[in-house]
Amino acid sequence: MLARMTVVADLPTPALVLDQVAFEHNLVSMAAVRPGAALRPHVKAHKCTAIARAQLAVGHERFCAATPREVLGLAVAGVGTDLLLANESVDAVRLRALGDLGDLVTVAVDSEATVIAAAAAGIRRVLIDVNVGLPRCGCAPEGAGSLADLARAHGLEVRGVMGYEGHVVGIVDAVERAAKCERSMARLLTAHQQVGGDIVSAGGTGTYAVNSWANEIQAGSYALMDTAYAELGLGFRPALRVAATVVSINPNFAVADAGLKAFGMDHGDPILEGGEVLFCSDEHVTFRSEASARVGERVLLQPAHIDPTMAYHDRVHVASGPGLGAEIVDEWSIDLRGWD
């Protein structure tokens, strides 16, 4: 298959394409700022053990994940020495599978119910998940200490705390982003004083350089980047694109074969290099191009949100660089997608 598809322009579309040069730049750049255990790469961003192996190769041995499937997949692949399910679960079957992995796995808990579920499933190690301002998971900071006591009473090792300032990481203004990050981390450190443990886990790609309070950062999107994070000027390069084929031409627009089922759209439309995206429908993207588009030619679009975009595809084609003429050098399975 790879022998026939020698360059990006040969791929059947829609096709997910990774720019190897930009990808490697991003990994090295992050490792220079957050080496080793200072970064816990979040595999929810890419759901791919091949990408996780590349992150491991630059020195990151700890990983976090959003689903039991991701954690189990990393364990089976032998990637990582310390795996965190940075999410709550009360699924007895899935938690038991994680419990069977012993000290390799740590699970987030934020309530009596999640503590009891973890203990019953044989989980050994937990982090207390704290609400630091994002209305999602996490206990109130003032309740973290009693929850940690409950976990220890059930025989669990409490390794510390975690909290995600997800409402902050995308703020374009750097001063505002840093100030709001500090306020969120004040909540987390208050909880940590009650909980104890060695770990203060937080952050993401948007705050990796300004969050000096957490001792490990849960960043994921930096490896591939998307248009939403690109607005922050973080120094990482866009490494992921979707190749599409022009299938229809009209006087004022053109249409290619990649739509809502090929892109994560919650952060907006993809960006067309050398053109303007008008809208996406199920299987199509309607656009205007600076050059005259022709039926059958390929175009490259950059997604606005990496995480769901990766989850929509079952493989990513690794290219030697950017552009339609770049050579396809490998193909990686997005093997951690799905839940089972």
pLDDT in tens, 192-202: 999 999 999 99
pLDDT digits (tens, 9 = 90+) for 211-257: 999 999 999 999 999 999 999 999 999 999 999 999 999 999 999 99
Structure tokens at 94: 């899935």
| 212 and 153 together in one domain | yes
Contact 95, 117 (CB under 8 A): yes
Task: Tell me the H-state helices in the chain.
Answer: 20-33, 49-57, 68-77, 92-99, 112-120, 144-153, 174-195, 227-230, 306-311
The closest alpha carbon to 161, from 197, 123, 107, belongs to 197
Specify the pLDDT at position 153.
98
Query: Does the pLDDT at position 3 exceed 50?
Result: no
| 71 and 219 together in one domain | yes
DSSP-assigned beta bridge partners for residue 316: 332
Specify the pLDDT at position 4.
59
| 72 and 138 together in one domain | yes
Query: Is 99 inside a domain boundary?
Result: yes
Among the three residues 224, 258, 274, which one is the final residue of a domain in this structure?
224
Cα separation, 94 vs 113, in Å, equals 15
Cα separation, 300 vs 183, in Å, equals 40
Among the three residues 198, 224, 250, which one is the final residue of a domain in this structure?
224
| 184 and 119 together in one domain | yes
Query: Is 230 inside a domain boundary?
Result: no
Distance of CA 267 to the CA centre of its chain: 14
**Sequential DSSP letters for 134-194:** SSSS-B-GGGHHHHHHHHHHTT-EEEEEEE--TTTTT-SSHHHHHHHHHHHHHHHHHHHHH
| 81 and 209 together in one domain | yes
| 44 and 117 together in one domain | yes
Among the three residues 155, 189, 224, which one is the final residue of a domain in this structure?
224
| 323 and 296 together in one domain | yes
What band does 290 get if pLDDT is binned at 50, 70 and 90?
Answer: confident
Specify the pLDDT at position 316.
98
pLDDT digits (tens, 9 = 90+) for 55-69: 999 999 999 999 999
pLDDT digits (tens, 9 = 90+) for 118-157: 999 999 999 999 999 999 999 999 999 999 999 999 999 9
| 47 and 108 together in one domain | yes
Mean pLDDT, all residues of the chain: 96
| 89 and 185 together in one domain | yes
What band does 5 get if pLDDT is binned at 50, 70 and 90?
Answer: low
Contact 274, 298 (CB under 8 A): no
* Residue 125: partners with Cβ closer than 8 Å, 6 or more residues away: 103, 105, 106, 107, 156, 157, 159
The residue among 4 and 209 whose pLDDT is bigger is 209
pTM: 0.96
| 202 and 83 together in one domain | yes
Mean pLDDT of 9-33: 97
Q: Please give the torsion angle defined by the CA atoms of residues 224, 23, 177 and 187, in that order, rounded to the nearest 10 degrees.
A: 80
| 12 and 28 together in one domain | no
**Overall number of domains in the chain:** 2
Query: Is 229 inside a domain boundary?
Result: no
DSSP-assigned beta bridge partners for residue 16: 242
**Total residue length of the chain:** 340
Query: Does the pLDDT at position 2 exceed 60?
Result: no
User: Could you tell me the residue range of the domain that residue 247 belongs to?
Assistant: 8-17+236-333
| 122 and 246 together in one domain | no
